[in-house]
């Protein structure tokens, strides 16, 4: 990548000579790149370019949009190895997982939209009315560092497919894959100004993006605190918003479940990307009489997940993405001890042999009390809370007892019972007995976990306004 010192505005790589932001390697702490700490002027230029490009792109044919997305898909496949290594080094996800997830999912998501678009009803009849679906306008996309390219693709692909123009502000911690994306798009038939990238900090370029009157929608993935600020700012201008935010997801293990399989599935989900996943199953609810056995199984499972160099094929647990995130997680582990929960595995000390980088031990707490900070607050690290419950009603009450509602799981030998309990969880998705993730199904949260949905036709509809012609 030769363009990291630039922004991508109106189809051109625009040089930047101002202050820069350091990008660190998660496994070593070394600085591996520098990107612009752009100012408000650069963001305003990008918004102006997107605004000017909207009139023509909003009238583009479906064939034009599909052709661009086909070219994007080919580019993502071609540069998959580079994407995987880039995100592995920035975020810390082990290379074997990063290849399938951080590089594989963006291409998969793009393909799902390519398959869907030819049959999507951009207009339909309703009695004597023609109902039309029109692009919302200029979209500001603000994306996180934990799945940096995947989260960008979830926004810009349906936005472009809908006929919108886009300004992207990628996460400062992991921005390089967004530059790869811009390079790929620069080689497609996408007209100038339809996609723009400006690197910088949230309080400057992000603030400009969410408050600019030409931006008609903000699509954000990140913390609930930042999402709240965006919602307030967008309200002043009646902007459309799509917010995918935090989670504290519960894995409910019913008494008749295969306990070993349920614990293993929960731990694997909780520790994916070192717990830096908004949907992570970080609360494991078990019948009180099975609590100790569940803790033993969880401890055995995390013992097999020793931290290591994420660039090695055999590593299963990498570091966290930044020193700030590592310190935050360690503080939560110390808090768990202070609150009196049982430390079953792990702890606040640095893992053996991991002197450099941002490593944290996979940690399990037992007898975690509902309502405690450890049980209520999103940690975003490899920390599992095991919570005993008395009966099914108690389990549902505890599962629904946080401000979040992004994901969840239910395990039972009785599939109908599992579905019934899953239907009582106030959350946007529930994995029933380890069901596979479906990229065509809607994804989003209840409560403080978000507004709107991503993936599939629901993700496309977020970027469309509805208009009726009365005939």
| Residues annotated catalytic, as ranges | 244, 278
Q: Which residues contact 125 (CB under 8 A, 6 or more apart)?
A: 131
Say how far apart CA 22 and CA 174 lie, in whole Å.
10
Say how far apart CA 246 and CA 248 lie, in whole Å.
7
| Inter-residue contact 16 to 3 (CB < 8 Å) | no
Beta bridge partners of 424: none
Going from the C-alpha of 48 to that of each of 170, 201, 282, the distances in angstroms are: 18, 19, 42
**Distance in angstroms between the alpha carbons of the first and the last residue of the chain:** 53
Q: Quick one: three-class SS letters along 382-407?
A: CEEEEEEECCHHHHHHHHCCCCCCCC
Say how far apart CA 295 and CA 180 lie, in whole Å.
43
Say how far apart CA 410 and CA 420 lie, in whole Å.
10
| Inter-residue contact 407 to 247 (CB < 8 Å) | yes
Say how far apart CA 182 and CA 169 lie, in whole Å.
12
């Amino acid at each position: 990548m030769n363009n990291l010192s630039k922004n991508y505005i109106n189809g051109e790589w625009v040089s930047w000579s101002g202050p820069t932001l350091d990008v660190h390697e998660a496994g070593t702490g070394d600085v591996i790149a520098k990107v612009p700490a752009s100012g408000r002027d650069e963001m305003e230029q990008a918004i102006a370019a997107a605004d000017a490009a909207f009139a023509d792109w909003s009238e583009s044919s479906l064939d034009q949009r599909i052709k661009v997305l086909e070219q994007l898909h080919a580019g993502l496949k071609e540069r998959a190895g580079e994407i995987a290594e880039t995100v592995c080094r920035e975020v810390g996800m082990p290379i074997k997982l990063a290849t399938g997830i951080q590089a594989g999912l963006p291409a998969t998501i793009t393909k799902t939209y390519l398959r869907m678009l030819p049959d999507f009803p951009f207009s339909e009849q309703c009695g004597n009315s023609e109902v039309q679906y029109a692009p919302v306008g200029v979209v500001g996309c603000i994306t996180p560092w934990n799945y940096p390219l995947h989260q960008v693709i979830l926004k810009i692909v349906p936005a472009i497919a809908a006929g919108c123009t886009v300004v992207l502000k990628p996460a400062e911690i992991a921005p390089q894959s967004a530059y790869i994306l811009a390079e790929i798009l620069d080689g497609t038939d996408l007209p100038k100004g339809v996609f723009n990238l400006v690197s910088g900090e949230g309080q400057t370029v992000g603030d400009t993006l969410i408050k600019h009157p030409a931006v008609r929608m903000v699509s954000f993935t990140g913390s609930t605190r930042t999402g709240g600020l965006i919602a307030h700012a967008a309200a002043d201008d009646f902007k459309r918003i799509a917010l995918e935010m935090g989670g504290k997801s519960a894995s409910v293990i019913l008494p008749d479940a295969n306990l070993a399989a349920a614990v293993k599935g929960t731990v694997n989900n909780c520790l994916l990307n070192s717990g830096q996943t908004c949907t992570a199953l970080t609360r494991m609810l078990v019948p009180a009489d099975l609590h100790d056995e569940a803790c033993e199984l969880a401890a055995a499972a995390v013992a097999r997940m020793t931290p290591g160099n994420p660039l090695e094929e055999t590593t299963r647990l990498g570091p966290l993405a930044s020193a700030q995130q590592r310190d935050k997680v360690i503080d939560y582990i110390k808090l768990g001890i202070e609150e009196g929960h049982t430390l079953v595995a792990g702890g606040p000390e640095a893992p053996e042999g991991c002197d450099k980088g941002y490593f944290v031990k996979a940690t399990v707490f037992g007898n975690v009390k509902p309502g405690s900070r450890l049980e209520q607050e999103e940690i975003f690290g490899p920390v599992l809370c095991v919570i005993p419950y008395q009966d099914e009603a108690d389990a549902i009450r505890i599962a629904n007892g946080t401000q979040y509602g992004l994901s969840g799981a239910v395990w039972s030998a009785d599939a109908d019972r599992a579905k019934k309990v899953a239907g009582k969880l106030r959350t946007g998705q529930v994995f029933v007995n380890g069901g596979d993730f479906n990229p065509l199904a809607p994804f989003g949260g209840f409560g403080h976990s978000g507004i709107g949905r991503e993936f599939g036709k629901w993700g496309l509809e977020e970027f469309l306004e509805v208009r009726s012609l009365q005939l």
